[in-house]
Structure 1
Amino acid sequence: MTEHSRIDTSVAHPARRYDYLLGGKDNFEADRQSAHEIEKRHPTARLSAQENRFFMHRAVRFMTGRGIRQFLDIGTGIPTSPNTHEIAQESDPSARIVYVDNDPLVLVHARALLTGTEAGRTTYIEADLRDPRQILSDQELKNTLDLGEPVGLLLIAVLHFIRDDDDPVAILNTLIDALPSGSYLAASNATPEYMPAEQVAALRAVMERQWRDRTGPELRALFDRPDVELVAPGVQSVARWWEQDAPQPRPAVESVAANGLVARIVH
């Protein structure tokens, strides 16, 4: 069975919906309709998607500035330049990146676009964040990353698809336990904090069981371990995290319904 034959175009997928909100063309009618329903309830959804990307850019540059040369990017979505490997390999052409997503369409594009530099290595795993052991045991990951050396773990705009009954803390603990001391992680999650209650209710209704928005304290609680040290300024709107390094002018936090954090892992 080819990747194309496994793509169900009749059901919206988060990666393709995100691609559409970012202005991409690798999406289908179901993805666009789903995005339009979200935009009716969150008119600045495109801005939120873009600010998540900008946050990822800043987080990767932050990590490369602290010596991180290998990255595990889970929930990467359809390639949108600049990607993690492009940013990391600007700093060091030998940087290595493993991308992970559960949409077969991402794999199709990843093979064509995520080529990396001659010195570095970039690969893609089709897997789901809900099964972190599958990710960690994948031979492509083992061939690309050295888990004896610090890794940058990226969980950008993906945790809100992990519901409470998926046991997000157990998922994250499995990943964090596998990373050596000196690693970093960056995560973002949709938040209801800056929205009126009726808007939050409307968004939750349209997203049905796909969605678990989290407040800043709820996002922080997912990483409540003594060996996970938040980097200042801690949990912030993705529009405000290291905002001096972001495109200007900065949007209002009320327009960007996501919080982000960066943390250092010190076992």
Structure 2
Amino acid sequence: MVRPDWAPNEIDLERPSIARVYDYWLGGAHNFAADRTLANQALGIMPSLKSAILMNRAFLRRAVRHLAAAGVRQFLDLGSGIPTVGNVHEVARQAAPDSKVVYVDLDPVAVAHSRLMLANDNQVAVLQADIRDPETVLGSSEVRGLLDLGEPVAVLMVALLHFVPDSQNPAGIIAGYRDRLVAGSHLALSQLGAEPGEEPEGWQRYRDLYAASVTPLSSRGHTEVTAFFDGFDLVDPGVTRIPLWRPESPEDLGPDAARFPGFAGVGRLSA
């Protein structure tokens, strides 16, 4: 396989990556055969998966617009993936041109391409780091050089936490960011998951495929996702199925929003 010039030498082109699989599903061009193979296998097992990914992306846009309208001008996008159309800085600047964004991802392709794409943008920074280490992320030169942690920051964890198992204490990770931010900061997150008896076609086979190929996927329901907002005041309508969080059009809802396999919410950190 010919290695493209945007792909760092240290990555294994034969091993699929979560970030590059998402890039493929979102119509991006920064993915390899192994990523496309896994993506298509997953779609064959769970046909509704691509719709779920697009619904997550739509939630990201709605949440960022809400946050910008609420006066937030600083965004920390954790597990940001590979830049595609409709990224956080593009959406935020439509409402607030002075918005600043730090993208954080562990995948070297996501980081390398983000840096290449955003090299001339002084309102955006890209950090390669493990989001499970809040102290390192918030103490990095990328974050400290662009964001003022003495002012409100919106932490975005969209389609991220289902890749963090309970054994790695996702609630503790969130608290690690929450406890270092000031009042008026926000948390926006979405999480794939199904309540018992509401699993979509192929749900368990899809989880098995990811566990064998990339990383286990942790499914969580409404109660578990709501618990992630400990210390935050939930913004209306609270934690809902992802399409039901402030839909703006019929396309945001999809065919069966009330049974959508995933939950989302936005919370504000009070004094």
Give TM-score scaled by structure 2 length: 0.90
In 2 relative to 1, CA 246–131 (structure 1 residues): closer, same or farther, beyond 3 Å? Answer: farther
What letter corresponds to residue 22 of structure 1 in structure 2? Answer: L
Matches within 5 A, 1:1-267: 4-114=8-118, 121-193=123-195, 195-196=198-199, 199-208=202-211, 209-223=215-229, 225=230, 227-243=231-247, 245-246=248-249, 248=251, 250-251=253-254, 252-253=256-257, 256-267=260-271
CA contact (8 A) 1:47 1:255 kept: no
Q: Is 2:241–2:259's contact at 8 Å kept on the other side of the alignment?
A: no
> CA separation of 1:154/1:249 partners in 2, compared to 1, >3 Å: closer, same or farther?
closer
Q: What is the percent sequence identity of the aligned residues?
A: 36
Matched AA of 1:86? E
Residue by residue over 1:100-156, the C-alpha shift from the partner in whole angstroms, topping out at 9 and shown as x without a partner, is 011111122112223586xx6100000111222211110110000000000111000
What runs of 5+ residues in structure 1 fail to find an aligned partner? none
Specify whether residues 61 and 196 from structure 1 end up closer, same or farther in structure 2 by C-alpha distance, changes over 3 A only.
Answer: closer
- Cα distance in 2, alignment partners of residues 64 and 19 from structure 1: 25
Deviations 1:200-256 (A, max 9, x none): 322221121521111111111222x2x31111111111111101x246363022784
- Deviation string, structure 1 residues 36-84 (Cα, Å, up to 9, x no partner): 2221222021111111111000000000111000100001110011210
Q: Deviations over 1:169-224 (max 9, x none)?
A: 1111001111110111100001123744873322221121521111111111222x
For 2:226, give the aligned amino acid.
R
Counterpart CA distance in 1 for 2:252 and 2:139 is 43
Q: Equivalents in 2 of 1:198, 1:257: separation in Å? A: 11
Amino acid at match of 2:227: A
**Residues 160 and 234 of structure 1: CA distance in aligned 2, closer, same or farther (over 3 Å):** same
- Does the aligned pair in 2 maintain the 1:55–1:238 contact within 8 Å? yes
Shift of 1:31: 1.1
In the superposition, the TM-score normalised over structure 1's length comes to 0.91
| Bigger shift: residues 209-218 or 143-152 | 209-218
Aligned equivalents of 1:171 and 1:65: distance in 2? 27
Taking the aligned partners of 2:245 and 2:76, their CA distance within structure 1 comes to 21
Amino acid across the alignment from 1:38 = A
Equivalenced residues, count: 261
> Quick one: distance in 1 between partners of 2:194 and 2:85?
28
- What SS does structure 2 have at the residue aligned with 1:98? strand
| Closer/same/farther in 2, CA of residues 247 and 97 from structure 1, 3 Å limit | farther
Match of 1:248, SS state, is helix
* Larger displacement relative to structure 2 (245-254 or 79-88): 245-254
Distance in 2, matches of 1:199 and 1:47, equals 14
